[in-house]
Structure 1
């Protein structure tokens, strides 16, 4: 999804429209040497208007007086009787996300049926072109030139009808996920902002749409972090490199607004202070920029130690700062919004082209692009042929030539795009916060990786509802490292896991041994509910931290495992909430020792009978120590599509916990 509409409309429609040396200067972009246009001569665009770099500025009103009192003739029309026209209006409708791709109640769309060279009639070969709104103005101009050229295919004239449509809407249609009113029929040519959309759309029907033919890229723009210039200066003063790493940036963005430490955020030992940023990312279900951010994180963390857990942390950061569109990201830079309660600066991941457009309009408060050292993901705007008809496919090939000629490349650069080869517009400079040097492009992920990553996002971005249960039997007092007992190691890991969960997650805490409350083997410390909910004078998160600090071993207590598991499973099923991942995390250092409780066979039979795939409750178990019967734990957990993990050191406990948290949704 393009989603940005903070854009200038001062530039002329083409170079030849600029006139000769005696023509008044017209502002051409963010870094025009002439500076910002006089606002008295060129009124700013209305809020919500799309980027239209080809609109003529309105003439300045002439002052009253004798020299202008006489009536003047009207402006002459352009050749062919056409008055100067505005190109590129767009109407953004409401969007609604869906798991996997997106289901939409409306989509951005506008149509231009430019017909030139006398091409008309029912026998004309008419191409229906759906273009992403950010590049649509340039595509419309190329289509107009294409029409005027009088192309013929099989003895029939060829023409193109261009509509600006959100890529998510077309992808939804092609994947079979739904039908949007503005895109009720499959277009002949599709130009989304990224090949990520074509990868997803082509997988929607078991490969039935694998016949998509991509002719090439119409334009490119990298995904970059955008920040206020004051923040960029502050980072330089701290000693941050000109091209900081993504790891440093994500660690500074933080994935734990409610804790001082986040196991998924990396070491945090760089020159950039932790939790300095408030990260803004457009919704990956609706935006190629959001999808590209996930692909970038996956590529950088692939094969790295703790990669899965750190990816879960990145998802957490994205989820906390998700925006409905790129425009909404830019709204966060409004001085009226400012820094958040945690005193963090907004930093947005945006297309470089959108940043160019924003700076052209907001020259009073420009932003700076950061180009990370590892490189980034590019939005490549692929020209994709969907038509099965041979004549239309041939016409699409001719249109592709119009989209890749010099005039078209000039048009996309004037919109703030780079050429497919990475050449930047002349307006890019250090003064405008944009580097003309192309950043390194990370390799495009294969279709299978795109699908896997988006499935992980769909799972990990769901809110979680979890009951944590910690073993406090006597053996938990044994040391696993100098000065560290099994219970202390477990509690520290649980505290770290708490920092990974946002405030809308629901969490509760039990402890268990034998006969903790009369004949009952378990006891509730904190009820299950939203972490941000206030319970008296403190939030549930604070109550959890307080409970962790007060947990103590029951001397001579045994392990009442089976009775506790059955009670916890029944409770979570009874209070099940479908909008959450409902799960149990049980921590123990041994095997069941309650002779008066149920047997393993009785426990397995109970869970097998009570498990409801329509109301699934996931059980994960963590064994700490050499007394754990992993086979026993695994038999119970796998009945719910969960698993058991065993570790012998504090570091292994933490690593396995983070791995389980990142895989908390059953297939």
Structure 2
């Protein structure tokens, strides 16, 4: 197919660049200078800051934690620094590059784990920076800029690509994946969107495209997610190991091997360079635009860095944005700001004209779209374990304006509708609460939290729940025992945590706490914070119904668990609120 197994070398000399200095490089340097000044370092522009030193007054160590795909290129850049004795303020740079999956590093930083061996983090996507900064208690991470990118497409073994009309036929994301999934036309693999920016960005693009084409309720997107989940690998590296060697014949027909993969251009580039023509991928670039990995250069706990470390980080980032650095990145299959044409990289990755490899994504995903997609993925591919707790105080008998039904009747109908969206593998339970429902307890367990498909006696768990929801009635003169109930339910939900499932507690109430003998709000919040464990997340989804509730109160209580509080004026909206809250909570627990 005319490919070469070696890396392309048509990028010019690493030491000479006749082009004028670009605005992109100027911006990168200026940004870095601002960052160092902001960190309290008075930076004097010296002649050796951007040049090569003749010797070293000393050395400064810099640890760089990088995504596995970009780590080899960064090591080459670090070797160049060592070979040329590039200095920062007279100090030689001792740069150590360690490869680690971005999702693992993000979790370490979110939970304030040990990061003593690195001062710079280069994940494959800014998504991970946002994941860390969502937690106010996380280790601070400062994105200083990007120096490389790689668009995402669908790579296929040649026999599959030929059947899809490559390279002359172009597809949108939904057309391409839909055709691949239709009738098992081709075995399509992807990396887990909860652990892979490539998988998440592609699925987000798919979901957005499906919504534009009329998938208002997300049914089509969820169906695609379920199909993708059947051939999902834990991470991008494992995904590349699943591709069939097409020319061998036997592997192409092996049902365990994938004939198509959702991959970055750089991953396809590296794969093709390793295998040569025998087993190389052809790459489709969807015509509605390819989302891209952007490789942010980030400082970890910037305020704790020494002056020498800050300047060393600045020096290294400057090199990556300079001609030498760009050359190294492009030779490893990355695009840079100054790549005049992506044709050489795309060709090695399996792209051919008229595939639209030069077209960026027209509509980059918003943070909200990414979060929505991640939550959808979580609840689609993982079964859930959810305990629902419903207010049965006397005020639930009040009529809902313009409906002619009580709050309880409308609430039950909405909860039953929500129940129908779960599968037999999901675990759902039901409590009710008021005051003194069970002796001195304000709550009563009506149905234990078990699999909906489990059968006991004549019916299933789903049958028992339907009957229990239907029989809920307001307790005459019953008050709202919210605090004690919430604590007891959360204690049980956390003690019954199930690994591999989405665990949550849903509390629906139409009033404020009215039990004078209960614990205080501050004590409740403290206890919930003690029980909450990021390693075993159980978000509380609190829903306040009607005008007698306190939205601030339920938001404070829910926030103590990493959950969310919601106010609805009409109980009929409970179903939608629950499902949306579960989706958002699913995104946060990943």
Using the size of structure 2 for normalisation, the TM-score is: 0.56
1:162-201 to structure 2, matched below 5 A, reads 162-166=96-100, 168=102, 177-180=112-115, 184-186=117-119, 191-197=122-128
| Distance (Å, rounded) in 1 between the aligned partners of 2:136 and 2:391 | 45
Provide the residue aligned with 1:83 in structure 2. none
The alpha-carbon deviation at position 138 of structure 1 amounts to: 3.4
Which stretch of structure 1 is more off in the superposition, 197-206 or 322-331? 197-206
C-alpha contact 1:630 1:644 (8 A) present in aligned 2: no
The alpha-carbon deviation at position 388 of structure 1 amounts to: 5.5
C-alpha contact 2:431 2:443 (8 A) present in aligned 1: yes
| Distance (Å, rounded) in 2 between the aligned partners of 1:604 and 1:231 | 69
Change (3 A) 1:569 1:338: farther
SS of 1:428's equivalent?
helix
Task: Indicate which of 253, 271, 276 corresponds to 1:358.
Answer: 271
Provide the residue aligned with 2:58 in structure 1. 123
Pair member with larger Rg? 1
Change (3 A) 1:151 1:361: closer
| Distance (Å, rounded) in 1 between the aligned partners of 2:411 and 2:370 | 40
C-alpha contact 1:129 1:161 (8 A) present in aligned 2: yes
C-alpha contact 2:152 2:293 (8 A) present in aligned 1: yes
Change (3 A) 1:311 1:462: farther
C-alpha contact 2:189 2:231 (8 A) present in aligned 1: yes
SS of 1:662's equivalent?
helix
Change (3 A) 1:409 1:639: closer
C-alpha contact 1:145 1:402 (8 A) present in aligned 2: no
Give yes or no for the alignment of 1:438 onto 2:358. Answer: yes
C-alpha contact 1:383 1:400 (8 A) present in aligned 2: no
Give yes or no for the alignment of 1:645 onto 2:565. Answer: no
Provide the residue aligned with 1:3 in structure 2. none
Provide the residue aligned with 1:86 in structure 2. none
Give yes or no for the alignment of 1:529 onto 2:450. Answer: yes
Give yes or no for the alignment of 1:223 onto 2:169. Answer: no
Provide the residue aligned with 2:172 in structure 1. 244
SS of 1:426's equivalent?
helix
SS of 2:344's equivalent?
coil
Change (3 A) 1:425 1:530: farther
Task: Indicate which of 572, 575, 579 corresponds to 2:492.
Answer: 575
Give yes or no for the alignment of 1:498 onto 2:422. Answer: yes
Give yes or no for the alignment of 1:412 onto 2:332. Answer: no
Which stretch of structure 1 is more off in the superposition, 545-554 or 653-662? 545-554
The one-character-per-residue Cα deviations of 1:278-300 (angstroms, maximum 9, x if unpaired) are 7733464x654466568768988
SS of 2:418's equivalent?
helix
Change (3 A) 1:575 1:249: farther
1:39-54 to structure 2, matched below 5 A, reads none
The one-character-per-residue Cα deviations of 1:551-575 (angstroms, maximum 9, x if unpaired) are 8967xx9544859988986873563
1:136-535 to structure 2, matched below 5 A, reads 136-149=71-84, 156=90, 158=92, 161-166=95-100, 168=102, 177-180=112-115, 184-186=117-119, 191-197=122-128, 213-214=144-145, 216-217=146-147, 219-226=148-155, 242-245=170-173, 280-282=190-192, 284=194, 287-289=196-198, 292=201, 323-333=233-243, 349-361=262-274, 367=281, 369-383=283-297, 389=307, 393=311, 397=315, 400-401=318-319, 404-405=322-323, 409-421=326-338, 423-424=341-342, 426=344, 428-429=346-347, 432=350, 435=355, 437-441=357-361, 464-467=385-388, 490=414, 493-499=417-423, 503=425, 505-508=426-429, 527-530=448-451, 534-535=454-455
Change (3 A) 1:397 1:310: farther
The one-character-per-residue Cα deviations of 1:406-428 (angstroms, maximum 9, x if unpaired) are x6545434433233356435363
The alpha-carbon deviation at position 353 of structure 1 amounts to: 1.3
C-alpha contact 1:199 1:450 (8 A) present in aligned 2: no
| Distance (Å, rounded) in 2 between the aligned partners of 1:223 and 1:601 | 51
C-alpha contact 2:481 2:518 (8 A) present in aligned 1: no
Aligned residues: 492
Change (3 A) 1:165 1:432: closer
The one-character-per-residue Cα deviations of 1:140-190 (angstroms, maximum 9, x if unpaired) are 444444555465666x4745544243274776787782225xx62525xx5
C-alpha contact 1:412 1:418 (8 A) present in aligned 2: yes
The alpha-carbon deviation at position 221 of structure 1 amounts to: 0.7
Provide the residue aligned with 2:580 in structure 1. 659
Change (3 A) 1:159 1:433: same
SS of 2:58's equivalent?
coil
The alpha-carbon deviation at position 134 of structure 1 amounts to: 2.3
Change (3 A) 1:509 1:367: farther
The alpha-carbon deviation at position 204 of structure 1 amounts to: 7.7
| Distance (Å, rounded) in 2 between the aligned partners of 1:233 and 1:563 | 69
For structure 1, the residue ranges without an aligned partner over 5 or more in a row are: 1-30, 38-51, 56-116, 254-270, 514-520, 593-599, 624-628
The alpha-carbon deviation at position 326 of structure 1 amounts to: 0.9
The alpha-carbon deviation at position 137 of structure 1 amounts to: 3.4
More helix by percentage: 2
Change (3 A) 1:582 1:401: closer
The alpha-carbon deviation at position 443 of structure 1 amounts to: 7.3
C-alpha RMSD over aligned residues: 6.7
1:64-75 to structure 2, matched below 5 A, reads none
C-alpha contact 1:32 1:427 (8 A) present in aligned 2: no
Change (3 A) 1:530 1:339: farther
| Distance (Å, rounded) in 2 between the aligned partners of 1:380 and 1:372 | 18
| Distance (Å, rounded) in 1 between the aligned partners of 2:419 and 2:296 | 46
| Distance (Å, rounded) in 1 between the aligned partners of 2:493 and 2:77 | 55
C-alpha contact 2:272 2:349 (8 A) present in aligned 1: no
C-alpha contact 1:192 1:382 (8 A) present in aligned 2: yes
| Distance (Å, rounded) in 2 between the aligned partners of 1:552 and 1:383 | 52
SS of 1:467's equivalent?
strand
| Distance (Å, rounded) in 1 between the aligned partners of 2:452 and 2:445 | 16
